[in-house]
Chains A and B, each alone.
Chain A
């Protein structure tokens, strides 16, 4: 029941002109004008041009794509890129999971040191880190010095030619991109849940498999997608350490700036764009589920 109070001059429900109520945050859209203009002009349009150009060239249509698939050397590069990205993602996950687990339980000085050891390489230029790997992995580098010096092998390893050196360096460069999302997922796991599981009689292995692992899965998938996307588009490390093994990004650069074959470079870039966009959309969904929508290597 509605209590109606009538006093002088107050007529409930009296018809008066309905004026639009004030709405909070209504005018905020105009804030987006400048950022979106820049983004359209220098991101959306250039990418659209890349896609358009991939269908042009001497023979318009799908010619570039047919060329990529039918030419064994380019097809091989695409497949090898995929294989490397998969390998790097898997290896990174295996190495990162225990590290993230330890850091998520660490406190005080240990936590600071561990985090610094993850974040310093994260923020060091890839060029610089790749240079470090050259010093270590080259034919007369540190690793071969140690291995030959200790008599383990007779001939120095050619790590910079067969792709293995490139993979070692890529795994290293990608580690923080996996550790950070894992950490942010693991920080969110309530330690009481594990205690509850152990009170209920689960041994540590069962606790891990049935409680901890499922709860860390959003972090695992987010990290995997992020590492996979980045690995697909890797340029610096393959160019310096890949030797004869090349990846898509290097091929695009060669086609574009050395061979001036822009249609082919655009087609390769379009393939890369479609793949990474699809993965990025998956990543966005995962981050939305992980909560807060904090993408890209943000730990707090």
Chain B
């Protein structure tokens, strides 16, 4: 909008300044936690009175956190893997298939992500009790698979839509049966979407609280549930230290996801 820049500079700078303020508002709660995790005192005081690593040491030494992180991985990896397989299958059928009601199926698959988790949580709780699974790994693992599947479905669908089905048609004329077409053409083409979907699914499972509150037991307690319990009972900077560690891990994973996407997009730019 060059016209705005020329004639209405005040409005333009106003919008820019406003944007800057909102962006700061967006990152402040995350930024506040960082210095707090290095505080030398046990109360939440800002700025921290002194620097220490004691909360990181406490975090590293905590058996609770260690068990919770292990649980989160034990639940997140299989849940994300299962969600990746099922979400990819669903995306293939919905995007490339010729089924009636494909849109409806797509909406149904996305629904668990959009509807409030509390509804699913109180729905799954009695089902898992009936199945005798409550508090076990399979219970929370299956619950997370249902809510993570939409994430994979979305990323793989968008990968599939990013190129014309001509590639698959070409493979077929060249003699590839459906399985070989998938293995040698479709899968390599959607690989970034599948990887990103897996990372999103794992991240989501790693952060999910409400299903974990209902479906896990103290033995299968995940990180968000542990943080939650700690927040409700004691407010020491050890939470801040744990938070920072988890944040760095999450961001690292998402950075990998972002780089995967950018890499493939740059590679595909010249393709018809």
A residues lining the B interface (CB < 8 Å): 23-29, 31-32, 34-36, 38-39, 42-43, 45-47, 49-50, 53, 95-96, 98-99, 101-103, 105, 114, 117-121, 123-136, 138, 140-142, 145, 169, 172, 175-176, 191, 194-195, 198, 203-204, 207, 226, 229-230, 232-236, 240, 249, 252-253, 256-257, 262, 265-266, 269, 272-273, 276-277, 280-281, 283-284, 288, 292-296, 298, 300
Contacts and interface: CB of A to CB of B under 8 A. Distances in A.
A29 B120 contact: no
Contact of B96 (A28, A203, A204, A283): A28
Given A35-B87, A204-B4, A172 B25 contact: yes
Given A27-B178, A42-B142, A252 B122 contact: yes
B115 A131 contact: no
A288 B104 CA distance: 11
A46 B207 contact: no
10 A-B pairs with least C-beta separation: A233-B116, A132-B29, A46-B123, A28-B97, A31-B93, A125-B207, A25-B98, A35-B90, A198-B3, A102-B19
B170 interface: no
Contacts of B23: 99, 114, 117-118
B46 A145 contact: yes
Contact of B27 (A23, A121, A277): A121
B33 A280 contact: no
Contacts of A269: 118-119, 122-123
> Interface on chain B toward A: helix, strand, loop, or mixed SS?
helix
Contact of B149 (A26, A38, A45): A38
Given A127-B227, A252-B119, 15 more contacts: A29-B99, A32-B89, A35-B109, A114-B23, A126-B207, A126-B209, A132-B30, A132-B31, A172-B29, A229-B114, A230-B116, A235-B209, A253-B210, A294-B158, A298-B154
A280 B36 CA distance: 39
A82 B45 CA distance: 35
B30 A249 contact: no
Residue among A27, A29, A102, A131 with the highest chain B CB neighbour number at 10 A: A131
Contacts of B115: 229, 233, 273, 276-277, 280
Contacts of A204: 1, 3-4, 7-8, 11
Interface string B23-44: 1011111111100100000001
Contacts of A23: 98
B38 to A, nearest CB: 14
Given A138-B44, A145-B46, A288-B103, A45 B19 contact: no
A105 B99 CA distance: 39
Given A47-B120, A269-B122, A28 B93 contact: yes
Contacts of B172: 24
A141 B44 contact: yes
A95 B27 CA distance: 14
B235 interface: yes
B118 A252 contact: yes
Contacts of A142: 32, 46
A195 B4 CA distance: 10
A125 to B, nearest CB: 4
Given A125-B250, A131-B243, A42 B124 contact: yes
Contacts of A191: 1
11 contacts: A25-B97, A35-B109, A121-B30, A124-B247, A131-B239, A234-B116, A249-B210, A253-B118, A257-B213, A262-B122, A283-B114
B13 to A, nearest CB: 11
Contacts of A130: 29
A129 B29 CA distance: 6
Contacts of A172: 25-26, 29
Contacts of B89: 31-32, 34-35
Contact of B146 (A39, A49, A249, A292): A39
B135 interface: no
Given A233-B118, A236-B209, A49 B25 contact: no
A292 B105 CA distance: 15
A38 to B, nearest CB: 6
